[in-house]
C-alpha cells in the first residue's frame, strides 16, 4: 500500500537543522502516526512521503515555505506588561497562547522590561530549512471516524 490522501502513515524520523543538530526525533518504540492529507504534518513532509510504502527510507530537505514559514519580523512586538496580569515572573523563553484573528497562536517572550514585554509570534522553526531522515513503518487505510476527526486514533495518535 502506498501513501496517499486519507491513509494513516507511521514513520520513524530524525529532524536536523542546517548545522546538523538534531531538533526532534521519534523514539524507536513509538513512531509518529499521522493522517495524510489533513495538515497533521508540514506540507513538505507530506509531499516527500507521497507514494512511498512501508520500509521505504528517504531524506528530504524542506524549505521554510513548506515547513513553518519564513521568519516574519512583523510578528515581533512589544506589548504592555500589564497584559500579563496574573503571571508573576515573565522570563525570556516563556511561551504563552494568545487569541489572535486566525485562532490560537503561541508566542515566545524575547525581552522583558519594566513596562513592556517583547513577544515573538513566529514558530520556533520559522525561517529554517528542515532536514528529515524518515523510514516508513506502516501505511493503512484510515477509519471513517479518523477521517471525520481529521486525525489518527490509537497508537501514536489521539486517545479520546
By the criterion CB under 5 A, which residues form the site for Zn ion? 149, 158
> Which CB atom, from 140 or from 158, has the smaller least distance to Zn ion?
158
CB of 147 to Zn ion, least distance (A): 10
CB of 153 to Zn ion, least distance (A): 6
Residues 6+ apart with CB under 8 A from 118: 76, 77, 78, 79, 109, 110, 111, 112
How many Å apart are CA 119 and CA 117, to the nearest integer? 6
Of all residues in this chain, which one has the CB nearest to Zn ion in the complex?
149
CB of 138 to Zn ion, least distance (A): 19
CB of 38 to Zn ion, least distance (A): 11
CB of 149 to Zn ion, least distance (A): 3
Residues 6+ apart with CB under 8 A from 65: none
Q: Is the dihedral of CA 131, 134, 140, 145 positive or negative?
A: negative
> Which CB atom, from 54 or from 149, has the smaller least distance to Zn ion?
149
Gap between the terminal Cα atoms of the chain = 27
Element (H, E) at 113: none
- CB hemisphere CA count around 65 (13 angstroms): 0
Amino acid at each position: 500500500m502506498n501513501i496517499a490522501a486519507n491513509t494513516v502513515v507511521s514513520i520513524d524520523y530524525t529532524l536536523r537543522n542546517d548545522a546538523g543538530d538534531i531538533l526532534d526525533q521519534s523514539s524507536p518504540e513509538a513512531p509518529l502516526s499521522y493522517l495524510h492529507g489533513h495538515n497533521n504534518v508540514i506540507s513538505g513532509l507530506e509531499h516527500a512521503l507521497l507514494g512511498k510504502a512501508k520500509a521505504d527510507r528517504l531524506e528530504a530537505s524542506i524549505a521554510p515555505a513548506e515547513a513553518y514559514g519564513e521568519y516574519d519580523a512583523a510578528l515581533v512586538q512589544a506589548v504592555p506588561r500589564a497584559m500579563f496580569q496574573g503571571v508573576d515572573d515573565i522570563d525570556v523563553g516563556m511561551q504563552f497562547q494568545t487569541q489572535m484573528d486566525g485562532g490560537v497562536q503561541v508566542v515566545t517572550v524575547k525581552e522583558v522590561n519594566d513596562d513592556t514585554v517583547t513577544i515573538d509570534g513566529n514558530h520556533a522553526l520559522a525561517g529554517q530549512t528542515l532536514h528529515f531522515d524518515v523510514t516508513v513503518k506502516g501505511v493503512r487505510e484510515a477509519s471513517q471516524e479518523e477521517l471525520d476527526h481529521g486525525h489518527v486514533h490509537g497508537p501514536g495518535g489521539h486517545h479520546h
